[in-house]
Chains A and B, each alone.
Chain A
């Protein structure tokens, strides 16, 4: 019994124009370049990739903060992108954004109550009793209790973990159906990190939320998401259920990424890792064909460096954009 699809993206592109001296166009930074995926209701999906692969731009496109250059998005069956390339206002109530750096995301001169009031005011909830009720409910949901104690505090009076809870509370206060968390724990310490991820997981499960979790840290994904999408050079190169992706890795880049991640083990000091040399591709001048081919040990000359690989589906639900899969 598959859940219905909440958000779907088809061939999404977000390009940024690069100009020199205002007029001369140099080209486009193809931050998101042809991304298609589907997110089901109540599902947590992780987008994994290195810095500069376009994952944050994808998040901001999903949130409607960057108008996409091309492509389609639908939310609960409704088309999202109108002719003016902007998302409709109702959609903004349906998505919550959890930023990476909690301290930077909270205005220092507003107390917690005021911070949480902002989205309510913007979306026309002006009744003080309802505001009060919602703030209390959401602070209890993120376990900042007793509420009286926390609602008058300013961000600098809170620890990093508590600040991140306020950010989560703000994303949650309009009761959205989708949360987009962009590296929600990368600024936090190991012990707090787990606490915040478990809180997000609990919110997702008790309220049936869908979550898009963006991270460069694959090791947390297993504990947090049902499905992983791996991004490289503005494209999704592999997507599958977490266990399928980790146990049956197909794409050479995903393999490298998994090799690079260590588990704490004293035996590591004796092992050398095989890591592809080179750097991620420029998004301004991406290589032709497969974007990973210059670093790939398995590339097929005359194919990988010429034609872009389509998505193959070796097992149901496991999609890989790699020519090595064409036999299957």
Chain B
């Protein structure tokens, strides 16, 4: 059911148990990302973007209520693998993760070089430390970190450099998929643009797929081939970036794009009144209908994910 070399999510669900009830953080997400393409997942805070990343990578907290669906990578449904097999064969080897505020996740008492080669050594016992450091030097060059930084400690590096180190660490094992969770949101504008340049170059030179999770829509357009818009735990629109940035279809995506300020164009900014629903007992039917201008009777029922052609999928009754 899958063509080789792409990432496919089928009915992915991740619910958390909390004292207030079950939080439906990721609810029935399905999408297909062709090999080597980059997907940007955008949405407001609390819409389930980070949970989606964690569900794909199986980096789960303890209070998981439901974790189901299929994640196909290179023709294998990785959801069927045991935790042990997943750790050996998939994590780092095929999928790597750059977590939010990753630059603060470096171990302060380890040299940067020893730290970044850890996944390589763990994954392949035959690789020597020297070989791994050689690879690390090469990857550092790609992301623009001087190679003598290998022997430094994290506190000696600036924020932008640390972020590059963490990106290098994720690339070192040559994974097919790298998930970047807000990779630049803690950095300054110039550093941000520099890191985006680095990621763009890697994307052009290698066959790596990225999933970029961000709330910053302008930044997401630097890298995205595909854009997924999430709202209240659900994917509400999935489309090639050339369509989504210029002509979004789903009412929420439309309003979200209209709220993005532009430096160069005089456009009228809009905001979305009201608040997203709670993910504990979310409303039945369309979750955006309470804030939607085009809502009508049909929205009381769950809208289908409609294929409107040209690779665009929209979860809205207007297109059914």
A binding-site residues for B, Cβ under 8 Å: 50-51, 159, 189-195, 197-198, 216, 218-220, 222-223, 246, 256-266, 268-269, 272-273, 275-277, 279-280
Contact = CB atoms under 8 A, between A and B. Distances in A.
Interface in B272-292: 272-273, 275
A261 B221 contact: no
Nearest to B203: A269
Contacts of B215: 189-190
Contact of A268 (B188, B221, B260): B221
Contacts of A276: 190
Top-4 shortest CB links A-B: A260-B193, A195-B271, A189-B44, A50-B188
A264 B245 contact: yes
B145 interface: no
Interface string B185-206: 0001110111011001101000
Contacts of B200: 269, 272
Given A189-B215, A191-B272, A219-B262, A275 B44 contact: no
Nearest to A261: B263
A233 to B, nearest CB: 13
Given A50-B188, A275-B197, A263 B263 contact: yes
B264 interface: yes
Interface stretch (B8-16, B52-60, B124-132, B251-259): B251-259
A130 B168 CA distance: 61
Contact of B218 (A159, A219, A246, A280): A219
Contacts of A261: 189, 218, 263
Contact of B269 (A50, A198, A272): A198
A264 B217 contact: yes
B3 interface: no
Interface stretch (B68-76, B108-116, B222-230, B294-302): B222-230
Contacts of A216: 188-189
Given A194-B270, A275-B190, A266 B218 contact: no
For B158, B217, B264, the residue with the greatest tally of chain A CB atoms inside 10 Å of its CB is B264
B152 interface: no
A194 B246 contact: no
A195 B272 CA distance: 8
